Structure 1
Amino acid sequence: MVVFGLEITPRPDLPAIVARWQREITDSELRAGYFAILDAADAQQCSRWLLDLRRRDELTSTELAAWINADFFPKLPQRYAQPVRIAFLVSPMRALQEQSDSSVATIATASQTRHGYSTALFTDEAAAYDWLAR
């Protein structure tokens, strides 16, 4: 399924939902994309997600960071049989860029386990799948 510049693929063999942004997107497309991922995960009852951000630029704003942390992430705890694990896949260059409070790297590496979900940042897809399988 492709929506909002985002290709969403259920992978029951992993098991995971793989979401790959295919183009640059707007703030509203990002928000809609996250809800499309949530809908796909709900349909599969899948708590493991790989979000591939390598084909789009970083969208940073305090508003988006606040939305992710205050509105989206709180929807995740106890939604599925297992806690949600989100692996953010970025290019090595992007992983080295300066981080801001609203960057994906900062959001992804913040410890969220106590909130009922976990996030991590990866530059290697195999490592991301390995982490998701734990």
Structure 2
Amino acid sequence: MPLPPVPDFLTLTYRPDLHLLVVRWQRRISVAEMQQGYLVLLEYAVLHRCRHWLLDGRRRFNTDRDGAHWMLGTFLPQLQPRLQQRTYLAYLLAPVTLRDQDADAAFPPAAYFEGKPFLGERFVEEGEAIRWLQQQP
């Protein structure tokens, strides 16, 4: 089955040297576009058997509760069956996003990830995010 095309609102690059997928959102997106982008990402992750993702949302600049609800209830539960092991998601965000109460409320607290087959963390510096990904099994 051929891979779906990468939508024009994101770039997706597999880094074999670091064994990670880098996704860069290119603009503000709708919830439907967010869903489309993550589903494409999952297909590329399965192809490369890659469970370490750098998700650059600095240009996207929007996180909302509907999108977060879909991520937690629909998307993230698909990772374990498709990738067979724990998946690590490093979110690269603009510093102002980390101070936004709505964005903060949309991202689950660290305790949420305990015992889950996926782990997410937020960063403002790309190097720090990559180092965190490389420290994960």
Report the TM-score range of the alignment, normalised by the length of the smaller protein.
0.7 to 0.9
Give the 3 Å change call, closer, same or farther, for CA 132–6 of structure 1 in structure 2: same
Cα shift readout 1:50-93 (whole Å, capped 9, x = no counterpart): 000000121313x3222111110111125435410000000112
Structure 1 residue 7 corresponds to structure 2 residue 11: yes
Q: Which residue of 2 aligns with 1:116?
A: 117
TM-score (normalised: structure 1)? 0.86
Name structure 1 gaps, 5 residues minimum.
none
How far does residue 118 in structure 1 lie from its aligned partner after superposition? 0.6
Measure how far apart 1:110 and its partner are: 5.2
Residues 51 and 93 from structure 1, CA distance in 2 versus in 1: closer, same or farther, beyond 3 angstroms?
A: same
1:21 aligns with 2:25: yes
TM-score by length of 2: 0.85
Match of 2:54?
A: 50
Give the counterpart letter for 1:68 in structure 2: M
Question: In the alignment, what sits opposite 1:65?
Answer: 68
Alignment correspondent of 1:88 = 91
| Distance of 1:40 and 1:119 partners within structure 2 | 19
Mean Cα deviation higher: 108-117 or 30-39: 108-117
Aligned match of 2:37 in 22, 25, 33? 33
User: Would you say the 8 A contact 2:25–2:57 is kept in 1?
Assistant: yes
Residues 93 and 102 (structure 1 numbering): CA distance in 2 closer, same or farther, change over 3 Å? Answer: closer
Counting matched residue pairs gives: 131
Task: Report how far residue 46 of structure 1 moved.
Answer: 0.3
CA distance in 2, matches of 1:33, 1:100: 19
**Conserved 8 A contact 2:28-2:62:** no
Counterpart residue type for residue 22 of structure 1: Q
Structure 1 vs Structure 2: percent identity of aligned residues? 33
- CA-based RMSD of the aligned residues comes to 2.0
Hey, what's the Cα distance between the residues in 1 that align with 2:100 and 2:25?
20
The verdict on how the C-alpha distance between 1:56 and 1:120 changes in structure 2, with shifts beyond 3 A counting, is same
Return the offset for 1:4: 4.7
